[in-house]
Structures are given as C-alpha cells and as structure tokens.
Amino acid sequence: MDSVTAFAPATVSNVACGFDVLGFALETPGDEVTARRAAGGVRIADITGDAGRLPREASRNSAGVAAQALLRAAGENGGVDLTIAKGLPLSSGLGGSAASAVAAVVAVDALIGARLPIDTLLACAFEGERLGAGSAHADNIAPCLYGGFVLVRRASPPDIVRLPVPHGLTAVVVHPDLEIETAKARALLGDSVPLADAIRQWANLGAFVDALHRGDFALLSRSLEDAIAEPRRAPLVPGLAAIKQAATDAGALGCSLSGSGPSLFALCRGLETAERVAASMAHAVKQHIGGAPQTYISTIAPHGAQVIAPADPKGPAVRV
C-alpha cells in the first residue's frame, strides 16, 4: 500500500472520579491521519481543521513524534509523510493530541505492515501525547486506541484494564466556545492532595468500577464525583455548577468536566434521556458562557482507532 488512513475517536478522560486513570471512547468525532511512504524520516505534509495553529515540524507535532516512535519500534528505516485532518476542536478536553498520535501510529503500522502488538502502539502514541498534553498520562491515549471504557493501572510499561459497559449507557458531550490548555489546567492542581479528598476519590473510583461490572446505575450515579481536579478547575468554566445541575435535572446520572475541560460530559441511561440531557446542557451553556456549543451524543464506542482506507483484507490493523 502506498497510503493508509486511520481514524481515532474523541475520548473523555478522568470521568469525574478517575483522575488520570479512567477514560472512554466516543463513536465520533475524531481525527484522521493519512500516512504515505516517503524517502526518509517523518514529515507533516499538511494539516486541515486547525486554522493553521498546530506545528508543521514533525518533532513538535504529536502525530509526528508518535509516528517516529513507531518507525523506531518496528526497526523501519524508511520514512512517511503524514496528512492530518483534525475533527476535534483544539484545547477542548476531548483528547485531541491523543487522537492525532493514535491515528498516526495505527496508519503507519498498517502502511509498513508491521502489525505491532497493541501495547507497543500504545507506547509509541504515548510519546506523542506526552508532547501534546505536556505531561505523561494515558487516560485519553488508552481508550482512543483500545476503545470502550478503560482503567490505566500503569501507563509505562502499559497495564490497561478494560472495563465492561452496562447496556444502555450513553454519553453526552457539550463543547462550549472556550479553550483550556491542558498544561495550564494541570498547573492549577498543585502537587499535593488533602488526605480526606484522596479517600473520597478512592472510594468513588472503587464504587464506579463495581457499578460498571454489575450494571448498577444508581451506584454509578452516586460515584460520579470528582473530589480532586474539578473543584480546582471550576473557575475556568463559567457557570459550571449550573450546567451540571441542568444535566442532572434532565435525568443524567452525573456530569463533570471532560479531561481538563472546557467540554463537559454526562452519562445517561438510554438514548431518550441523553437527548433530553444534551438539550438542557446546551441551553445552560448558552446562558452562562454564550456562543453556539457543539453537542455530541454517543454510545461508548466498543472499538478504538481503525484503518478506514484502504480496506485491509487481513482485518483491522489493531487487534486486542
């Protein structure tokens, strides 16, 4: 094959009680990366959908860094040109840098026919995410690549725990007309956590994982509480408390920031409830932030990044 295009989905990380360890994949939106054979090294041929804001130098671009790591892991001396189509808004809290990095490694792996283990793909994409997000965490990278709901027990070397998804669990994501840089949002957290907050977070995380396994929506709802990151980042999103209240009043199981924000997610039981929650959240965002928010309703995507062109007769490039 002379070229391969891969799609990598948006992700919700933290998921309230799982700061830096929980994440899930959406069906859409996402990023696409096309990899083409080239003479040597990695080059960014073109980027669309970023209004010219992302670096064109491969060494400064999350997709470029991830692709170079993949070539090294495969022992490949050839080069690739990457064309990136951003379907995710920048600095949105939906895993934009992770999606570009993951789409790049999946595309390049298929292009050169390496078919590397998924943990190796994760490690390569992790290098791109480290650059793009400004810190080393895998709660966007892992669900973007693996799909579904995941818990990152350890990022490097990878130890990813795939979690069950109760039937009917549906996500709503509302992206306001705001941008929050991940590095700046993380700086608000400091480097210590009060013991009482840590205990509360651990309890919620354990209960949340149990709720997923047993399909206990009531326990899941009680567990969707962030005692660590959200209270410190709340000032970054005007009207956050009111937007969350609008979500729960409309029937959401819970609502919180997606990643470092400004996007917010809600988990719902069923599509009908999700549609009602989405409308309520969008209305609240318009009231408190203004602009025209982007709204997505999605099941938890069972599959992560995939090759979308050309079709691979041997099956997906990524196998779990």
Q: Are 184 and 135 in contact (CB under 8 A)?
A: no
Tell me, yes or no, whether 14 and 33 share the same domain.
yes
Q: C-alpha distances in angstroms, 35 versus 3, 38, 103, 106, 156? A: 5, 9, 10, 9, 26
* Cβ atoms < 10 Å from Cβ of 51: 9
Tell me, yes or no, whether 50 and 139 share the same domain.
yes
Question: Residue 174's pLDDT is what?
Answer: 97
Choose among 122, 88, 81, 83: nearest CA to 105: 122
Q: Return the HEC string of 63-115.
A: HHHHHHHHHHHHCCCCEEEEEEECCCCCCCCCCHHHHHHHHHHHHHHHHHCCC
pTM: 0.93
Largest CA distance in the chain: 57
Q: Quick check: is 318 in a domain? A: no
pLDDT per residue, tens digit, the chain (320 aa), is 799 999 999 999 999 999 999 999 999 999 999 999 998 899 999 999 999 999 999 999 999 999 999 999 999 988 999 999 999 988 889 999 999 999 999 999 999 999 999 999 999 999 998 886 666 689 999 999 999 999 999 988 889 999 999 999 999 999 998 887 777 777 877 789 999 999 999 999 999 999 999 999 999 999 999 999 999 998 899 999 999 999 999 999 999 999 988 999 999 999 999 999 999 999 999 999 999 999 999 999 999 999 999 855 454 444 33
* Cβ atoms < 10 Å from Cβ of 81: 19
Tell me, yes or no, whether 49 and 81 share the same domain.
yes
Tell me, yes or no, whether 141 and 248 share the same domain.
no
Residues in the chain: 320
Tell me, yes or no, whether 99 and 247 share the same domain.
no
* Cβ atoms < 10 Å from Cβ of 90: 15
Q: Look up the CATH number of the domain holding residue 64.
A: 3.30.230.10
Question: Residue 8's pLDDT is what?
Answer: 98
SS3 157: coil
User: Strand 79-85 relative to strand 42-48: parallel, antiparallel, unpaired?
Assistant: parallel
Question: Residue 316's pLDDT is what?
Answer: 42
Tell me, yes or no, whether 7 and 109 share the same domain.
yes
Domain count of the chain? 2
The β-bridge partners of 299 are 170
Tell me, yes or no, whether 132 and 267 share the same domain.
no
Tell me, yes or no, whether 50 and 106 share the same domain.
yes
CA–CA dist 203, 140 (Å, integer):
22
Q: Quick check: is 64 in a domain? A: yes
Question: Residue 103's pLDDT is what?
Answer: 98
Tell me, yes or no, whether 88 and 200 share the same domain.
no
Q: Could you tell me the residue range of the domain that residue 276 belongs to? A: 169-299
Q: Quick check: is 122 in a domain? A: yes
Tell me, yes or no, whether 144 and 262 share the same domain.
no
Tell me, yes or no, whether 144 and 184 share the same domain.
no
Q: Are 78 and 38 in contact (CB under 8 A)?
A: yes
Q: Quick check: is 320 in a domain? A: no
Question: Residue 133's pLDDT is what?
Answer: 61
CA–CA dist 78, 111 (Å, integer):
11
